[in-house]
Amino acid sequence: MALEDYRAMMERCSNCSGCKWIPFDKIKSQRFSENCPSISYYNFNTHSARGRFQLAQTLLDGDCEFSPDVVEAIHNCTACGSCDSTCKITRYNLEPLDHNLALKAKAVEEGYALPEQKPIMDSLQQEKTMLPGELRSNRLHWASGIDVKDLMKEKGEVAFYPGCKYSYNEKLKPVAANALKLLINAGADVGIFGSADMCCAGRALQMGFENDYEQQAKANMEVFTKSGVSVIVTPCSDCYHAFKRQYAKLGLDIKVMHLVEYLDELIQDEKLVMKNRVPMTVTYHDPCHLGRLGEAYVPWEGKEKKILNQVHTWEPRRPRYNGADGIYDAPRRILQSIPGVELVEMERIREYTWCCGAGGGCSQTNPEFASWTANERITEANATGAEAMVTACPWCEESFMNAKDEDGNTIQVVHLIDLVLQAI
Amino acid sequence: MALAREIYRAFESIVGSRNISEDLGIRETYRCIPAQSSAHFGPYDQKTPLPQAVILPGSTEEVQQIVKLCNKYKIEFKASSTFWATMGYIGSDCAIQLDMRRMREIEIDAKNMTAVVEPYAIGATVQAEAMKRGLTLNIPGVGCSSSPLASTAGWAGFGPTSIFMGCATENMLGAEWVLPSGETLRTGSVGAGSGWFCGEGPGPSTRGILRGVVGTTGTMGVCTKVAIRLHPWPGPDHIPSVGDAPAYRAVLPDNFKGYTLCFPDWGAYANAVNLFHENPDILFLGHRQYNKFGRNLKVAMIKILNDKNKQLCDLPALMEDPVTKKQNEDMKIDVQVILAGMSKRDMAFKEKAVDTILEETGGWKSEFMQEPDIAAWNLMYLLRLGHKNLNYTLCGAYEGTFGLTGNVFVSSSLMEEASALKRKWELESDCIAAVGGDSDMGSISVMGGGGATGWEFFTQFDAYDKESIKNTKLFADATQEWMTSKGLGVDFCRWNEDARRPDGYNYTQEQHDEMYINLPQPHVTAYQYKVREAFNPNKLTGSYYRTLTPEKLKEQD
Amino acid sequence: MDNVKASLSNIVGGENLLDSPEILLGYAKDQSFVKEMKPWCVVKPKDADQVEALVKWANKARIPLVPVSSQGPHTRGDTVPGAPEAVIVDVSNLKKIHSINRQHRMAVIEPGVTYGELQAALAEKGLALSTSLAPRAGKSVLTSVLEVEPRINAVHQWSYSDPLRCMEVIWGDGVRMYTGEAGGGVRDLEKQWEKERWQVASTGPMMFDFYRMLTSAQGTMGIVTWASVKLEVLPQIHRMYFVPAQQLSELEDFVRRVVRLRFSDELFVLNGAALAGLMGETPEEIAKLREQLPPWIALVGIAGRDLLPELRVETQEQDIKEIAQQFALKMVPGLAGITGEQALAAVTGSSDETGWKARAKGAYQEIFFVTTQDKAPGFVETMKALAAEAGYPANEMGVYVQPQHMGTSCHLEFILPYDSNNPKETAKVKRLFQKASETMVGMGGFFARPYGPWAYLQLNRDAQSYKTIQELKRIFDPEGIMNPGKLTI
């Protein structure tokens, strides 16, 4: 939808400020009560979902322009969707996250991308990754030494799709390798896309580069279809969201699973048995794109229909994404299945989790803001007394590895797969 | 129009470049469109003026310096905490907007049951911190996203728990306040350095300047800290919840019970309410809440809100469902109450007291509202008031009409007539949502210990639909005409109609003089003129402060 | 001056203008240590119209007015003229009870109505007014609530100034208006009642709290000619219990807990000397009781009204008893021969003309201020030390701790009985009074009602507040005619 198509939502937003907080029912303290990194860091109303609705009205009316401050406000959104989930606690007809993305897209379309975004998009075009400086020729180094099918050459049921972060980041590469080995050892008919493996481009969409995203998505979908796989498993929450929710809009019809879902199934089916004790108190960080943004896409076409004079609904019933059906329980079940692991929860979890700061491309375009966002989460994690923070997304993991809490302390950051490996 | 560089830099030097903006786009997000927000002066599709700059102070000292500069350069200013309502926004072109969100501290004195809060501490966070210490606070009807300081300093501040906990003015203890002149007033025991426990005296209370029946809506300077009285919370250190969004449900021990009390007619209702007023220890909370969706919709809406798979499009089918219809009819004349037992015996007494009042008045408890999931959801809703934006859910906008605040016997005897008038508009004009006429809601008492109800009819309209906005205004005219004919005073949505012009700007003194000379006791506004002269000599805070030029009284004499 | 008196006489009638030396002497001083000053004359208006005329007259004549509502003997110096040639406006003849509304539990009373008169009238309609602790027989209810004398039932004190609600006032500038909810309607009570408006809400009527200009103002802003007060349903069952303790601190948590849970009706703490003073009829009896009573006693009243009276009383008795046990205390029905019934009657009824505090030695001084309960023991210890230092018998000193405003603060009062005919003793008490007042202010005691020398001590601590009060005074009493000399530094 173009920005203009959100006009009704802009004017029907009631300025309640719900978009600035986790669901009020869930607030346990002043310290960890806010949900949106952007307004929390920048403080001006413009940086909230309400502010963006209002800014968009003003831009469309021609009452302001894409000034440098406006452009920064538009792009300094981690697209984490926290505003969207809390808005939908009470509203049935607003889509703040989609609107935020449409606003970014409008800025990009009008030539108001951030200068920092250019090398990222150039890299996508040239090297098929949104990590500038990385070469496509090095993309498969993470899998060297693993005897795995190249799905472009031989058939397999499951595609393992590590995503750019796991493919290139030296510290994170072992996670991808271990995950793949674990799938192989568990008897999965798994392979990788080999030289056809490319960036999912989900972050292009999060940054407002709709055309680049679509181009890349279609290219990937061609690869997926050609490979004939029936399931794509990814350990990256960003990629998961891109495939499950966004590619599906473009017609992707292959089952998409996050690694935690796959492992959960293996454990449920007793194909994976946790034998070793891992004595550790951990807290789990719900990645935004796996949790509240991890709900599956449901096709819909329809139009608005007013009932009871002025109550706006859609005909036919429109799917509603409010985060209720995100992937929250699978990672927690895995943790609970590991002997010795004690899970202590942070205050902001599940659909009201706090973003790691990397979303929306912010860790690359605005590291100061992204780093503050991650630090906030580390403060929250350390407040639980946990020894380690477990997550299921490389972007979150990278953000947290470099973060410190308000007292300057770090926390050990662990991918779920690492704990599983220790336990089996 | 922009601030002169010299002035902008002076402001910037106070708060730092990060906390001030004069960017047009940023400033535009500090304009209110009354039709899209809580307005209390009617639905208007017109923006409030554009501030010259937006400034985010971080301390009382910064506020004071800003206000002094405003006096020096004769720049109007207005501070707002959560920007819920139109009254928090400026009213002239030569004004700056203060956004108080950087000031959000909460300091609780559990022993003496007080909290000192800054402007951007909201009800939900104060409550969360208070509950850890076995305490809670009165959250006004607007909900927990509002600032307790703002409702204390700026507006009415009554809500569902006011019968037990009192309203904002009753709970206000000491305050720290930067007057429009730039001087900082600390009331009562605070000024004496004795603590925050008492906002009165020494001698006549200077806090009288800071709020009356309502607060001064940012016109009497900037309240930077206020101590509020907290109240007992006989529950866990937070309310554990279960359930999928949006139907979060409270898991609470047996000393919390929520009931929907229903009555055969309004006479019985009034008698029951009066008995609760007479015995103010019984109810922890009393509010006619879900009727805000409308007499014909309420049970259907509650079912939608309790099922993550349901949406507004399910309303028609649910409304036709015979079971729902019966449940709806059962709670046609209703009020939601919560009992909180301070002990087992106390709970038993309160339960018995409620049953006795129902017996005496011919009332009953809604069985539907006692179904376990609904009951747990209801407890969560009312105890935290975290779903108050459901006020806007049906259409995206609403105005409170009728405003039958006051004597419960008077207002309840007029309820059906008011409902019929609204129903007529629902059927004959499509400008407002057709919900069954009666969409009255509000507190069982607007003051501690009972005394007056606080009712309004939620009137839902579409802020995106210009015709809906325009005709809703006409509906408000009709309700005001009806109110006037009944001698009931000002309609709820017009409480601020005399404070801000339909074009969003301030009224002039001449316009106010014309209005207030006709008050039954015009000296009220003449004194307010003198108070403004004394504490706001440069008239920097707009026309929400109602004043009458005293000379006009002499002319009248 | 005869012309001036004539004009006064025209307003109130010659018989209501009093200027005999004996009468003037009666208004020239009271039991406080406030400097004696003879008024010029005393007028006794019969209604609000006359009061209005008097204030307008005083503005023109620039003559100070000192409003007096209670019958003597006065004790706090607020009615002793602070400026020469003042006219005492004694409104104690305004004794109408304008209305008692059972349905809304509201009454409208004039300033001359005493507790005894009002409670009797209310009882006939099944109502009662919350009271200050055993008020003097001649105490004006209106003055008592206007001066925010602490109520003995903190848990029903939603507003700091409850039960005071609306008022009619003639401000110092001669303007007559209603405050609170009543200020929003026509200035005619009958017409307001016709519209079922019963003067319930105290605030406003707009964004300014007019009534707060009058509370604790000692008549410096205007003269109130009626006030509405919030009532309670008359108890059908009403009991009072005692919780004795050796230390005040032992009662602190108990009282806090009871108030916090909103249990009890009346609830306050007295030391043995204070309770003895309240219950003893003669100095001898008081002295004897003082010996018999424990050092500290919490008095707990429990009322059952129209709704389930027995069950309410039983429930609260049990719960409060258990709370006492939690703090190793015991709630008992009688103490040192005093029954709960007797205590209840003394506490809620009116005292004699001079008041119970005078019974021990004929005269007394009070030192009272607002603080929080947790700080009360510290103040008490300091006061005891000061008394010892001054050679005042600490065992005779009464202490009264009254939680107020639902327990967020408390009224702490020291009562110093003495023989005013003994110059040495009087001088000793005067020195102690002054020193203790200074010390208490220095320790953070907040003299919210700063009578006599306390005005100087308290107002000096906050220049901005004082400046603000002066600004307000200029608005409502521009000529400075209302009780000048009070509330000034």
* Per-residue pLDDT tens digits for B326-341: 999 999 999 999 999 9
| CB B122 within 8 Å of CB B130 | no
pLDDT number for residue B2? 83
- The answer, yes or no, to whether residue C72 has pLDDT greater than 90, is no
User: What string of H, E and C letters represents the secondary structure of B226-266?
Assistant: EEEECEECCCCCCCCEECCCCCCEECCCCCEEEEEEECCCH
Residue B200 pLDDT level (bands cut at 50, 70, 90): very high
Torsion of CA A410, A416, A421, A423, to 10 degrees: 90
Fold entry, domain A117-268 = Rossmann fold (3.40.50)
Report the distance separating Cα C105 and Cα C98, nearest Å.
14
Q: Which region among B335-339, B404-408, C28-32 has the lowest average model confidence (pLDDT)?
A: B404-408
Residues B472, B425: one domain?
Answer: yes
pLDDT number for residue B557? 63
User: Residue A132 class from Cβ within 10 Å (0-12 exposed, 13-18 middle, 19+ buried)?
Assistant: middle
Residues B136, B220: one domain?
Answer: yes
User: Residue C223 class from Cβ within 10 Å (0-12 exposed, 13-18 middle, 19+ buried)?
Assistant: buried
Please provide residue B450's backbone torsions phi and psi, each rounded to the nearest 5 degrees: 85, 170
Please report how many Cα atoms fall inside a 13 Å half-sphere around the Cα of residue C191, on the Cβ side.
9
Report the distance separating Cα B486 and Cα B346, nearest Å.
42
Choosing from B324, B351, B386, the residue where a domain stops is B386
Interface touch B28/A13, C-beta < 8 Å: no
pLDDT number for residue C38? 96
Interface touch C196/B407, C-beta < 8 Å: yes
Q: What residues contact C347, with CB distance under 8 A and at least 6 apart?
A: C133, C134, C152, C240, C266, C278, C299, C301
Choosing from B196, B214, B232, the residue where a domain stops is B232
Interface touch A309/B433, C-beta < 8 Å: yes
> Mean per-residue pLDDT for A15-28?
96
| Chain segment A322-370, per-residue pLDDT in tens | 999 999 999 999 999 999 999 999 999 999 999 999 999 999 999 999 9
Report the distance separating Cα C434 and Cα B118, nearest Å.
38
Cα–Cα distance list, C431 to C33, C302, C447, C456 (Å): 10, 40, 19, 16
Nearest to B454, CA basis, from B169, B229, B154, B140: B140
Interface of B with A in 174-213 (CB under 8 A): none
| CB A389 within 8 Å of CB A376 | no
Report the distance separating Cα B21 and Cα B516, nearest Å.
38
Nearest to C446, CA basis, from B176, B174, B201: B201
> Mean per-residue pLDDT for B426-447?
95
Nearest to C251, CA basis, from C215, C275, C228, C233: C275
Report the distance separating Cα C275 and Cα C297, nearest Å.
8
- The answer, yes or no, to whether residue C282 has pLDDT greater than 80, is yes
Interface membership of B507 toward A (CB under 8 Å): no
Tokens 């440069």 map to which residue? B538
Interface touch A310/B121, C-beta < 8 Å: no
Mean pLDDT for all residues in chain C:
97
Compute the residue count for chain C: 489
Of B19, B144, B460, the CB nearest to A310: B460
> Mean per-residue pLDDT for B365-378?
98
Interface touch A27/B124, C-beta < 8 Å: yes
CB pairs under 8 A between A and B: 230
Residue A252 pLDDT level (bands cut at 50, 70, 90): very high
Mean pLDDT for all residues in chain B:
95
| CB B112 within 8 Å of CB C372 | yes
Interface touch B433/A51, C-beta < 8 Å: no
Please provide residue A279's backbone torsions phi and psi, each rounded to the nearest 5 degrees: -75, 100
**C237-442: CATH superfamily:** FAD-linked oxidases, C-terminal domain (3.40.462.10)
Nearest to A73, CA basis, from B23, C258, B324, B118: B23
Residues B145, B223: one domain?
Answer: yes
Q: Using CB atoms, list chains with 3+ pairs below 8 Å to chain B.
A: A, C
Torsion of CA C440, C446, C448, C451, to 10 degrees: 20
Residue-wise DSSP of C293-359 = S-SEEEEEEEEE-SSSHHHHHHHHHHHHHHHHHHTT---BSEETTEEHHHHHHHHHS---SS-GGGT
- The answer, yes or no, to whether residue C2 has pLDDT greater than 90, is no
Domain that holds residue B417: 394-501
- Mutating which of B138, B161, B198 best tests the C interface, going by the most C Cβ atoms within 10 A? B198
Mean pLDDT for all residues in chain A:
97
Q: Using CB atoms, list chains with 3+ pairs below 8 Å to chain C.
A: B
Of A45, A55, A93, the CB nearest to B396: A93
Interface membership of B91 toward C (CB under 8 Å): no
- The answer, yes or no, to whether residue C1 has pLDDT greater than 90, is no
Helices (H) and strands (E) in chain C, counts: 15, 19
| CB A86 within 8 Å of CB A185 | no
pLDDT number for residue A278? 97
| Chain segment C201-227, per-residue pLDDT in tens | 999 999 999 999 999 999 999 999 999
Residue B325: enclosing H or E segment and its boundaries?
Answer: helix B322-330
Residues B15, B82: one domain?
Answer: yes
Residues B211, B115: one domain?
Answer: yes
The correct answer on CATH 3.30.465.10 for the domain covering C97-233 is yes
Helix (H, G, I), strand (E, B) or coil at B315: helix
The correct answer on CATH 3.30.43.10 for the domain covering C2-90 is yes
Domain boundaries, chain A: 117-268
Interface membership of B515 toward C (CB under 8 Å): no
Helices (H) and strands (E) in chain A, counts: 19, 11
Tokens of B408: 């419960």
**Which of B332 and B454 is assigned the larger pLDDT?**
B332
Of A29, A45, A90, the CB nearest to B29: A45
Is the bond preceding residue A394 a cis peptide, omega within 30 degrees?
no
Task: Check which CATH number belongs to the domain holding B71 and give it.
Answer: 3.30.43.10
pLDDT number for residue B42? 83
pLDDT number for residue C149? 97
Choosing from B71, B99, B127, the residue where a domain stops is B99
Q: Which residues sit opposite C416 in a β-bridge?
A: C365
pLDDT number for residue B454? 85
Nearest to C403, CA basis, from C284, C253, C279: C253
Task: Report how far apart the first and last C-alpha atoms of chain B are (Å, whole number).
Answer: 43
| Chain segment C144-199, per-residue pLDDT in tens | 999 999 999 999 999 999 999 999 999 999 999 999 999 999 999 999 999 999 99
Report the distance separating Cα B295 and Cα B10, nearest Å.
55
pTM given for the model: 0.97
Interface touch B464/A8, C-beta < 8 Å: yes
Q: What's the total number of domains in chain B?
A: 5
> Mean per-residue pLDDT for A232-240?
97
| Amino acid type, A333 | R
| CB A211 within 8 Å of CB A105 | no
Interface touch B448/C209, C-beta < 8 Å: no
Residues B208, B326: one domain?
Answer: no
Q: Do chains A and C touch (3 or more CB pairs under 8 A)?
A: no
Tokens of C142: 């209106």
